[in-house]
Structure 1
Amino acid sequence: MVESVLLSIPQPYRDIAIKHRELVKFAVVGGTTWVIDTVVFLVLKAGVLEPKPITAKVIAVLVATIVSYVLNREWSFRTRGGRERHHEAALFFLISGIGVAVYTAPLAISRYLLDLRVPDISMFGQEVSDFVAGQIIGTIVGMIFRWWAFRRFVFPDTDVRRQQPVAHSGD
């Protein structure tokens, strides 16, 4: 499926996408987990955790991180490895834990350092600043950090888990 999508991309972008396919896959996983993170964050913040946006954000990032591990290991970095699975998972979650701080720092700065919250600003202004700080700036900074750290520490070796073609019965 990935190959057919890559072939549908017009040149010269196709060559760039093929050359950086791991990054493209990482970005797709990131986009998917961003949606999960955003939905969980907004639902929690609008409901039971309304007075606790940082707690809502941490829970949202943790849910998205679990999904991220599975998708990154089995798709984005499927040919990379170099560590025993339990070490790989531990490092993934350790780096993702550091990533939680990286992701939430812009929201904490916006809310508590810059006081972009009610009653200092309107409810609409608070919600916009929360979204921009938590879901856009935090996500960009966090993804850059995680891309570097996953390749450096979690999946350091290339081509160590090459997938074998699956034989289909009846072929």
Structure 2
Amino acid sequence: MKIPARLRRLAGVGSRFLIVGAISTVIEIAAFNLFVFVFDWDPVVSKIAASLVALVNAYIGNREWAFRHRDRRGRVSELALFLATNGICTLLGAGLVWLGVEALEAIVGHATGAFALNVVNLISIVIVVLFRFVLYHKVVFRTSGSSTSEPPAA
């Protein structure tokens, strides 16, 4: 069975996006745990701060590797779209962490422990990653209307 070229390109971009995302996720989880359990910050504030720390890696990795073959319409415009997209995604992630913490506390009747808090955080990351890929692919690192946006041959 022959896989269409467009699907192969999407799989390649998606794979690179997931690798960059995995590295960013490790950074975000480490920062989140540092902020919550070392600095004793609120989980929602920690989620926002950790997302911002991981954002630097995400931009560089996605711009220079995952979506390198896409149009370069100008760094300022692209960076503004990237920051807006990640602002939305950070708020979505923080909202999901808040909702998860509130739900768990309502169910168990007391504050969540480290394991439960990290499970909530990971679930929020999975949901946000799917949303983020669509936005990066369709809005931030989009192609021009032509079909000349194929990645260069390796």
The TM-score range, normalised by the shorter chain, is: 0.7 to 0.9
Gap runs ≥5 in structure 2: none
Question: How far does the alpha carbon of each residue in 1:83-133 deviate from its partner, in whole angstroms, 9 at most, with x for none?
Answer: 221000010011000000121222100223x2528x933x6x432221111
1:130 matched to 2:117? The reply is yes
Gap runs ≥5 in structure 1: 1-14, 166-171
Identity %: 24
* Aligned residue in 1 for 2:109: 120
Give the TM-score of the pair, scaled to structure 1. Answer: 0.74
Runs of 4+ deviating beyond 6 Å: none
> Does the Cα contact within 8 Å between 2:36 and 2:42 map onto a contact in 1?
yes
1:26 matched to 2:13? The reply is no
Aligned amino acid, residue 120 of structure 1: G
> Does the Cα contact within 8 Å between 2:35 and 2:41 map onto a contact in 1?
no
Aligned amino acid, residue 146 of structure 1: R
Structure whose CA Rg is larger: 1
More helix by share: 2
**Distance change >3 Å, CA 102–CA 54, structure 1 → 2:** same
| Alpha-carbon distance in 2 for matches of 1:115, 1:142 | 20
* Greater relative CO, 1 or 2 (CA 8 Å, sep 6+): 2
Aligned amino acid, residue 137 of structure 1: I
**Distance change >3 Å, CA 60–CA 51, structure 1 → 2:** closer
| Alpha-carbon distance in 2 for matches of 1:138, 1:115 | 14
| Alpha-carbon distance in 2 for matches of 1:33, 1:148 | 17
| Alpha-carbon distance in 2 for matches of 1:68, 1:42 | 19
Give the TM-score of the pair, scaled to structure 2. Answer: 0.82
